[in-house]
Amino acid sequence: RALRGAPLFLKLNVKDGAHADWLRGELRQRFDYECVESVKAFRAATERAITREGQVKHNRSRHEKDDRSGVDARQHWVLGFDNRDKLALFEQEERELLARIESLDAQLAVLRKQAEESGARVLQCQTLSNLQWQEIDVLPLAERIAAIDEQLRGAREGNSALREIDARLREHAELVQKAADGVSDTDVKRRTCLGQLAERQQQLAALRLDPAIVALTPHQSQGLDLRYAALPEPIMLRTLDAADRAVARALGFDIDALNAEIAQCGKFIEARFDEFARTWSADADGLDATLAAASDFFAKLARLETDGLPAHEQRFFDLLQSQSNQNLAALATYLNDARKAILERMELVNESLRQVPFNQNADQSSYLHIEPKDRQLPEVREFKQDIQKVLANAWSPDREAAEARFLALRRLVERLSSQEADARRWREAVLDVRLHVEFVGRENDADGNEIAIHRSGAGQSGGQRQKLATTCLAAALRYQLGGSEQGVPVYAAVVLDEAFDKADNEFTALAMNIFANFGFQMIVATPLKSVMTLEPFIGGACFVDIRDRRVSGVLLIEYDEQRQRLRLPEQARDEDSLETAD
């Protein structure tokens, strides 16, 4: 069904999400109302419609207009991605309502006060309306009181006894008044003291129940009693705070002095620890010269005191003769064994090289022999001499000689364990036996006579260098992999790219024979001219064609196992033979 103009659901933006499509479908189905601008257009709408004023036309017979709240009242809006504007509107309305409530409360307070004043006036008026004139006419009463006073004064003046009694009454009345005032003041003071006493008792009970307050030990209580007793003024309630401050200040001074003394003692002890660690680094065994390691240092001290210095000296001498010398001897043995291992593995390589001629012609065949030679490095020679110096006279009972050997051993160990760049380079140079030898290729005839010496590829043609490099490569792989030719065959693939592009067919066959004799499986990428030569040494092939350096294709070529050749058309084989001959 085609949409009418300005439908209501199109005025809503739906946020992208997992249910966005479903929500759009629901809005389209439930709120397909045409938005009209006037009542005339509203009435003219054939189906559902809605006006800006909120009048809704559900169908031709049912119209709805909800006037409980205005359409433009933002407080009732529920749609939108952000409710901050609506929240601000509610906050503004809250502030207005609070201001209105405050104003109404002020008006109510004024009205209450006016009502109270009116009630008081009404009560006064009611009281006045209930009085008789005789009750408020004070003049007769005043005249009667004056007459009585005059009679009393006349009676006192006419009777001396009465005058004396009256004077005594006034005197006693004054005494009674003074006593009453004193009793009142004393009662106020008593009540104040009782209140203060109750407050102090509550504070004392709370302090006794406070878990943060730790009970004093007898020694602490005795010390505090002595300090409070030494104060110049007696301890009273009004002077208690000042006394506490004075005692706390004195304690602070004493604590600071003790801490300074403790710090000084700690530095002194750490200095002794450091001196011990520097002097006897081997026995310190990596301990830090700090108070945290004091228990370890004291344990060593107790052990030394228990064992005795002579026994400790003998133990040091025994360790130097046994463990240190044994470890150095093991290191020297390891270096010699590693060099022997290189020679033995090179024998295995040379045995394989003797199976395939290096150069071959009608007159004679030559074989390559790789000879390891000692490089005679000064660093290695000096290192071996140092080891021999330490091991010399290892079983001599001379203590001075043992001390000298220990110092030499310590220098050697410190240099081996150093992490500086020069020390690491030196350590690698003296411990990596592979760096102690170099390899020289000797070309011999079948009788063992030397024909040529190959120290590098200098002075040779490209094909000769390639031949030498290929042979050395096979030998290096054989040396690296090691092993023997007996037992189960292993998978040892060698990948050569642009192989034999500068070599003739004779060398290609020779190199492949070398790799095959070493037990390698060859994966070779080579130009077409070497394909015929490689056929006996492979078990399959594929032809790769690249056009415009963008498109490549691969063609698998079958292999004839019996004839040891690729199944190529004879024409292609003839063309390749001609290209090779050219």
Residues 383 and 439 in one domain: yes
Q: Which of 43, 45, 63, 44 is nearest to 54 (CA)?
A: 63
Q: What per-residue confidence (pLDDT) applies to 307?
A: 60
- Tell me if 320 is assigned to some domain: yes
Per the structure, the count of domains in the chain is: 4
- Tell me if 423 is assigned to some domain: yes
Q: What per-residue confidence (pLDDT) applies to 573?
A: 60
Q: What per-residue confidence (pLDDT) applies to 414?
A: 76
Residues 479 and 389 in one domain: no
Long-range contacts, 147-154 (Cβ 8 Å, 24+): none
Domain boundary among the residues 413, 437, 455 is at: 455
Average pLDDT over residues 351-364: 76
For 238, 357, 480, 485, 514, the CA distances from 518, given in Å and listed in that order, are 107, 13, 12, 9, 6
- Tell me if 298 is assigned to some domain: no
Q: What per-residue confidence (pLDDT) applies to 484?
A: 52
Cα–chain center distance at 247 = 48
Residues 328 and 449 in one domain: yes
Angle of helix 325-353 versus helix 505-517 axis, rounded to 10: 140
Residues 436 and 396 in one domain: yes
Render 155-193 in DSSP notation, one character per residue.
HHHH-HHHHHHHHHHHHHHHHHHHHHHHHHHHHHHHHHH
Cα–chain center distance at 299 = 37
* Amino acid at residue number 505: N
Q: What per-residue confidence (pLDDT) applies to 574?
A: 58
For 215, 219, 539, the CA distances from 208, given in Å and listed in that order, are 9, 20, 98
Render 52-64 in DSSP notation, one character per residue.
TT-EEE-SSS-EE
- Tell me if 276 is assigned to some domain: no
Residues 412 and 324 in one domain: yes
Residues 484 and 560 in one domain: yes
Classify 233 in phi/psi space as left (phi over 0), alpha (psi -120 to 50) or beta: beta
Q: Convert the pLDDT of each residue in 119-167 to its tens digit.
A: 999 998 888 888 777 777 788 888 889 998 888 777 777 777 777 887 8
Pick the range with the lowest mean pLDDT from 55-59, 259-263, 315-319. Answer: 315-319
What's the domain range around 52? Answer: 8-72
Residues 565 and 448 in one domain: no
Answer positive or negative: Cα dihedral of 156, 160, 165, 168.
Answer: positive
- Tell me if 88 is assigned to some domain: yes
Which H or E run contains 228?
Answer: helix 218-229
Arithmetic mean of pLDDT over the chain: 80
Cβ neighbours of residue 238 closer than 8 Å, sequence gap 6 or more: none
Q: Is 462 exposed, middle or buried (0-12, 13-18, 19+ CB in 10 A)?
A: exposed
- Tell me if 563 is assigned to some domain: yes
* Amino acid at residue number 417: S
Residues 319 and 438 in one domain: yes
Domain boundary among the residues 455, 488, 522 is at: 455
Q: Which of 313, 330, 310 is nearest to 406 (CA)?
A: 313
Neighbours of 205 (CB within 10 A): 10
* Amino acid at residue number 281: S
Q: What per-residue confidence (pLDDT) applies to 393?
A: 61
Domain boundary among the residues 455, 485, 515 is at: 455
Confidence of residue 224 (pLDDT cuts 50, 70, 90): confident
Average pLDDT over residues 44-52: 85
Residues 50 and 123 in one domain: no
Q: What per-residue confidence (pLDDT) applies to 395?
A: 58
pTM exceeds 0.75, yes or no = no
- Tell me if 164 is assigned to some domain: no
Q: Which of 238, 267, 275, 387 is nearest to 327 (CA)?
A: 387
Residues 479 and 534 in one domain: yes
Residues 60 and 100 in one domain: no
Q: Is 354 exposed, middle or buried (0-12, 13-18, 19+ CB in 10 A)?
A: middle
Q: What per-residue confidence (pLDDT) applies to 94?
A: 92
Q: What per-residue confidence (pLDDT) applies to 487?
A: 47
468 three-class SS? helix
Residues 115 and 65 in one domain: no
C-alpha–C-alpha distance, residues 151 and 173, integer Å: 22
The answer on pLDDT for 168 being more than 60 is yes
* Amino acid at residue number 203: Q
Q: Which residue has the higher pLDDT, 183 or 3?
A: 183
